[in-house]
Amino acid sequence: MQPSEFSTYGAVDLGARKAALEREAQRQAAAEAGNTNPYAVDVTEENFQREVLERSLQVPVVLVLLAGWSGESKQTEQALDKLVAESQGQWLLAKIDTGVSPQLTQALRAQAVPALYLALGGQIQPIAVGAINENQARDLLTQVFSALRQQGVLPQNFTGVGPAQPAEQQPKHNPVQAKAAEAVQRGDFAAAEAAYTEALEKDPRNADYTMGLAQVRLLARVRDLDVKKVRQQAADNPTDVAAQCAVADLDMYAGNVEDAFDRLVATVRRTSDDDRDRARKHLLGLFEMLPAGDPRVAKARRNLTSALF
């Protein structure tokens, strides 16, 4: 069973399902005419992990929630379609129809549609709510990608918006990350972990490899979790460290980083001895999924210190 935060919410809107089928027919017609956008994909519960979370280990994925009946959604979709085509694969666009996939909409805690999120390194963060035109989308993504470059999350020559840089200016192909990404794509998390572990033995200070290893380990831990059962166990047993760690993993997987950190800090506070140390070490492992300068990590480290002393 694949992990899912989506199994307990709403039924599928049959009207939206019909619209989605019509949209798929249009997509196939466009494909036959040679007019497809290779960098955009429709996402449902069935392919969410593969098309969003796993692909985000390789490139940024802009995730957009759309309502098929909404003119504002159509405007936003058209703007993003144009920009992702211009980017030539530097980032990918994942589209979710809220009527077809209400569970995904619930899990992403959308307050309105259209809504935009960014998935990167297996993490999802909201970036905007409401309709945007092409110029607004261009400005928004320019700001988002610029901030990520400044934080060191993306390489300095990542353009994001607009054509990719000439090949001689692009980042060099990293065989370690490519090998790990290929392993993740085929579901072989052990091979992906081995690729990063071996690389870190040779280059122990490589932050990209450390983050990649932590992200792969998270995906491996959550892939077979029974979400409802684990969350109930954690709610019923606040001092059950295994359950608390599992729920923290699910929160990280869904992009709810602060929820994951807060849960484990609280677990450290209420436990002692070996249990406390297990919770502490698990939290430190989650820190490795984010850049060292991430303010959420800094805040959680302060809270952890307070909980310990």
Q: Do 20 and 148 reside in the same domain of the chain?
A: yes
pTM over the 0.85 mark: no
Instruction: Assess whether 48 and 181 both reside in one domain.
Output: no
Residue 4 lies inside a defined structural domain of this protein: no
Q: How many C-alpha atoms does 206 have within 13 Å on its Cβ side?
A: 17
Residue with tokens 């993504």: 141
CATH number of the domain bearing residue 96:
3.40.30.10
Note whether 156 and 29 are same-domain residues.
yes
Write out residues in the chain with pLDDT < 50, as ranges.
Answer: 1-35, 167-171
Terminal-residue alpha carbon distance, the chain: 40
Domain final position from 169, 192, 224: 169
Q: For 138-153, what is each residue's pLDDT tens digit?
A: 988 988 888 777 666 7
Both 78 and 139 in a single domain? yes
What is the count of structural domains for the chain? 2
- Longest Cα pair distance anywhere in the chain, in angstroms? 66
d(CA 81, CA 28): 16
Cα 261 from Cα 269, distance rounded (Å): 13
- Which domain-ending residue is among 119, 144, 169? 169
Q: What is the 3-state secondary structure (H, E, C) of 14-46?
A: HHHHHHHHHHHHHHHHHHHCCCCCCCEEECCCC
Q: Is residue 111 domain-resident?
A: yes
Residues 6+ apart with CB under 8 A from 150: none
Task: State which residues form the domain around 242.
Answer: 175-308
- Out of 104, 139, 169, a domain closes at 169
Question: CATH code at 262?
Answer: 1.25.40.10
Does residue 8 fall inside a structural domain? no
**Domain contains 77:** yes
